[in-house]
Amino acid sequence: GAVVSQHPSWVICKSGTSVKIECRSLDFQATTMFWYRQFPKQSLMLMATSNEGSKATYEQGVEKDKFLINHASLTLSTLTVTSAHPEDSSFYICSALRRAGTQREQYFGPGTRLTVT
Amino acid sequence: KQEVTQIPAALSVPEGENLVLNCSFTDSAIYNLQWFRQDPGKGLTSLLLIQSSQREQTSGRLNASLDKSSGRSTLYIAASQPGDSATYLCAVRPATNSGGSNYKLTFGKGTLLTVNP
């Protein structure tokens, strides 16, 4: 149980275009999901917290108008990178918060490799 | 602001050797600490989660310890195998009532482990 998927697993796009990445919790409902970005040999950096039915909460330094997050259902959050530039090329990982009794644990997706040319 | 440091950044050992990975964090007000494994270009697999009240957790050949007061954790891998080769990440979750989201994880940069046959 507690499987999280991401789609696509990798994407190449041209500079100036927009790319949408999906994160799904397959066997549990998640009112809270998280989006991370990871550059080569660097740590995962939290970009934003996605809340079902409300606006996302962005970390300091993350442009909310550039990284649009929509958490429209209890099993799906999407991250749209608008007007992508080469510096947005990175590995994007989502996680979904599973609540079981008093336990809370994040389960991570397999990641999406974005390359902007 | 919480900072997580992992030492060493990379480690190469012969098969069969026992090894220790280190993780330190600057703010001891944590709820739990988690060790993850990340294979190249992949997402995260949770290995062990230690609650702040616990001293250690074990799973198979893995043993993680936690000394919250000194801000340290270690991951011990016994009888290493080539299949253990991966990047190992340490992440801490803040204690409740520490402000902001209580579920945000702060990650270290990881230790790249190579086990040679």
pLDDT in tens, A5-31: 999 999 999 999 999 999 999 999 998
Q: CB distance B89–A42 less than 8 Å?
A: no
Q: Please, are residues B107 and A43 in contact by the beta-carbon 8 Å criterion?
A: yes
Element (DSSP H or E) covering residue A69: strand A67-73
Contacts of B106 in chain A (CB under 8 A): 46
Closest-CA distance, B115 to chain A, in angstroms, reads: 19
Q: Please, are residues A84 and A15 in contact by the beta-carbon 8 Å criterion?
A: yes
C-alpha span between B25 and A85 (Å, rounded)? 34
- The DSSP-derived string for A6-48 is EE-SEEEE-TT--EEEEEEESSS--SEEEEEEE-TTS-EEEEE
SS3 letters for chain B? CCCEEEECCEEEEECCCCEEEEEEECCCCEEEEEEEEECCCCCEEEEEEEECCCCEEEECCEEEEEECCCCEEEEEECCCCHHHCEEEEEEEEECCCCCCCCCCCEECCCEEEEEEC
Token pair 């799973």 in the structure block, residue: B59
pLDDT at A21: 98
Residues of chain B with pLDDT under 70: 97-101
CB-defined contacts A:B, below 8 A: 50
Interface of B with A in 48-67 (CB under 8 A): 49
C-alpha span between B74 and B57 (Å, rounded)? 11
Please name every residue paired with A37 in a beta bridge, in sequence order, or none if there are none.
A45, A92
Q: CB distance A91–B41 less than 8 Å?
A: yes
Contacts of B46 in chain A (CB under 8 A): 105, 107-108
Average pLDDT over residues A57-65: 93
Interface of A with B in 3-42 (CB under 8 A): 4, 6, 32, 34, 41-42
The nearest alpha carbon in chain A to B10 belongs to A41
- Which of the pair, A104 or A85, is modelled with greater confidence? A85
The verdict on B31 touching A (C-beta cutoff 8 Å) is: no
pLDDT in tens, A67-96: 999 998 999 999 999 999 999 999 999 999
Interface of A with B in 49-68 (CB under 8 A): 49, 57
The verdict on B95 touching A (C-beta cutoff 8 Å) is: no
pLDDT at B99: 47
pLDDT in tens, B35-45: 999 998 889 99
**Token pair for B71:** 């801000």
Closest-CA distance, A114 to chain B, in angstroms, reads: 11
The verdict on A91 touching B (C-beta cutoff 8 Å) is: yes
